[in-house]
Amino acid sequence: MANARPMVAIVGRPNVGKSTFFNSMAGERKAIVEDIPGITRDRIYADVEWLGRPFTLIDTGGIEPASEDILLRQMRRQAQIAIETAQVILFFVDAKEGLSPADEDVADMLRRSHKPVIVVANKVDHFPNHEAYYDFYALGMGEPVPISSSQKLGFGDLLDEVIKLLPQSAAEGEEGEDERIHVAVVGRPNVGKSSLVNTLLREERVIVSDIPGTTRDAIDTELAVGEDTYVLIDTAGLRKKSRIDDKTVERYSAVRALSAVRRCDVALIVVDAQHGVSEQETKIAGYVHEQGKAAVVVVNKWDLIEKSTGTLEKYARTVRASLQFMDYVQVLFISAKSGQRVHKVMDAVRDAFAQAKRRVPTGLLNDVIGEAIAMHEPPIASGRRPRLYYATQVSVRPPTFVFFVNDPDIFHFSYMRYLENHLRKSFGFAGTPIRLLLRARKKEESV
Ligand code: GDP
Ligand code: GDP
């Protein structure tokens, strides 16, 4: 059901300049949301737009320069992730160093995937200098595109090539008619995602079918509960095959989680009760929030926790403290192993999705906003009184409200937070983010 932006992944050997490119692209994007601690650092994706075409750039990263064979293994894994998750792959090579055997190996893999790949010859610091990247024609992957990440040269031509290869919106819309509710099961390796999916399938009984996954490791399973059909997107699987270090695995599982979150309606964020909410989970939860997706947090392996009076409440407070930006989310404590409270999971998913689809009638909305203003007027800023004329809900998933005001710049973030809290107090919206946008209303329109 979800309409995901196409993903463009960056792969290549260490030190070819991937991060330099990614950071400079990510930097172009103006911060429109409040920074969420833990996710802005070491960012793995950036939403960008070129000539009106939005897409998401992913830095698959995660390769440590190590011995040749380990390096090659990591590069293959990285390329595999890119093949699975991205619609277009940017294969970075170093024009200063020329072609390396590892490049050729990865090129082979990418070619066999039949995914659109652009060979990006980086570090061509002086334009035009065709000799610098002539080598890379030998990869047999079409014309290399020269850029200089540090000098920001050649970006325009590269982005032109990228958008030529992006899927047309018609093709992207194939999920548009889908009435099924997509649920991404996300979390670090080993928290019990597969176990949860298996227990859900057992408990809910009515399994419609297995859908051969579009990717090798993310397996989609259809599940009918009551009137609704769900598609569970299980992002597990990576750990089992992998012999690479933990940090690399975590990064790859984060990329995979991101791609699942993109195509989901509700994210089921699974946390291991024994470890609590780690930075990695905060990061995943951060994507979910930023992407405007509804969510349910599931603390799994609750059977392993020694309990006394108040254990659950105390634990719940700790979880909420780590996920402050998601204070609207429902937190469940379950055991995928014993089945304890697993039956509540799909109820919570359904509720969160229902909230994400909610529409508030304009009259009622303005009554509630009027009440909020009466209780607490927006404070004067730069000598002016912020005025709020009128609000309307413009979309759902997530519920998005536009406020017509005298001047968007004089509304403080904390006042918007107050309005959000007031909306939540009146209407709920449990389990879903909501968005509040400010628009200047022209003088002649004002009352
Ligand atoms: P990554 O490991 O592929 O992410 O590579 P980095 O982005 O960390 O870059 C590795 C090194 O190459 C750094 O010292 C960069 O400053 C340098 N570098 C990146 N892009 C360019 C470029 O376009 N020209 C030159 N001369 N150096 C670059
Ligand atoms: P995934 O990598 O997130 O898919 O995790 P798995 O579902 O493969 O589970 C990882 C390990 O945790 C396995 O050994 C499971 O048996 C175990 N596990 C999963 N859920 C529970 C649970 O609720 N309680 C206990 N005690 N162990 C669990």
432 lines ligand 2 (CB under 6 A): no
Q: Report which ligand 1 atom has the smallest distance to the Cα of 23.
A: 7
Cα–Cα distance for residue pair 372/328, rounded to 1 Å: 19
How close is the Cα of 159 to the center of ligand 1, in Å? 19
How close is the Cα of 330 to the center of ligand 2, in Å? 21
Of all protein residues, the one whose alpha carbon is nearest to atom 9 of ligand 1 is: 17
Of all protein residues, the one whose alpha carbon is nearest to atom 11 of ligand 1 is: 15
Residue in 186, 188, 190, 299 to alter for ligand 2 test, most ligand atoms within 8 A of Cβ:
190
Look at residue 2 in the predicted model and tell me its pLDDT.
47
Look at residue 78 in the predicted model and tell me its pLDDT.
81
Give the burial string for 60-70 (b: 16+ CB within 10 Å, else e). Answer: bbbbeeeeeeb
300 lines ligand 2 (CB under 6 A): yes
Residue appearing with tokens 């390096």:
71
Residue appearing with tokens 């002016």:
384
Q: Return the ligand number nearest the Cα of 199.
A: 2
What DSSP assignment string belongs to 218-279? SEEEEEEETTEEEEEEE---HHHH--S-HHHHHHHHHHHHHHHHHT-SEEEEEEETTT-S-H
Residue 342 phi/psi, 5-degree rounding, is -65, -30
Give the Cβ contact number of residue 159 at 10 Å: 20
Cα–Cα distance for residue pair 94/61, rounded to 1 Å: 16
Q: Return the ligand number nearest the Cα of 335.
A: 2
Residue in 22, 57, 150 to alter for ligand 1 test, most ligand atoms within 8 A of Cβ:
150
149 lines ligand 1 (CB under 6 A): yes
How close is the Cα of 253 to the center of ligand 2, in Å? 16
Q: Report which ligand 1 atom has the smallest distance to the Cα of 63.
A: 2
Q: Return the ligand number nearest the Cα of 191.
A: 2
pLDDT averaged per 10 residues, the chain (length 447)? 75 89 73 45 75 86 67 81 88 93 90 93 87 85 93 94 81 57 90 90 59 51 86 65 58 80 94 91 90 96 93 94 93 95 95 95 93 94 89 94 92 93 94 94 56
How close is the Cα of 252 to the center of ligand 1, in Å? 22
How close is the Cα of 248 to the center of ligand 2, in Å? 21
Q: Return the ligand number nearest the Cα of 273.
A: 2
Cα–Cα distance for residue pair 98/96, rounded to 1 Å: 6
Cβ atoms of 117 and 103 within 8 Å: the answer is: no
Look at residue 167 in the predicted model and tell me its pLDDT.
83
How close is the Cα of 190 to the center of ligand 2, in Å? 6
Helix (H, G, I), strand (E, B) or coil at 79: helix
Give the burial string for 343-353 (b: 16+ CB within 10 Å, else e). Answer: eebbebbbbbb
Structure tokens at 130: 């065709």
16 lines ligand 1 (CB under 6 A): yes
388-395 β-sheet, strand order: 388-395, 400-405, 435-440
148 lines ligand 1 (CB under 6 A): yes
How close is the Cα of 366 to the center of ligand 2, in Å? 48
Cα–Cα distance for residue pair 46/87, rounded to 1 Å: 15
State the maximum Cα–Cα separation within the chain, in Å, rounded to a whole number. Answer: 72
Of all protein residues, the one whose alpha carbon is nearest to atom 17 of ligand 2 is: 192
Of all protein residues, the one whose alpha carbon is nearest to atom 2 of ligand 1 is: 15
> What's the Cα-to-Cα distance from 306 to each of 272, 310, 317, 371, rounded to whole Å?
14, 11, 17, 46
Q: Return the ligand number nearest the Cα of 71.
A: 1
Cβ atoms of 301 and 271 within 8 Å: the answer is: no
122 lines ligand 1 (CB under 6 A): yes
Burial class (CB in 10 A: 0-12, 13-18, 19+), 327: exposed
Cα–Cα distance for residue pair 1/135, rounded to 1 Å: 44
What DSSP assignment string belongs to 174-235? GGTT--SEEEEEE-STTSSHHHHHHHHHHHS--EEEEEPPSSSSSEEEEEEETTEEEEEEE-
Structure tokens at 62: 């995660």
> Which positions ≥6 away from 88 have C-beta within 8 Å?
6, 7, 8, 9, 55, 115, 116, 117, 118, 162, 165, 166
Structure tokens at 424: 């939540």
Look at residue 332 in the predicted model and tell me its pLDDT.
97
Q: Return the ligand number nearest the Cα of 338.
A: 2
How close is the Cα of 296 to the center of ligand 2, in Å? 18
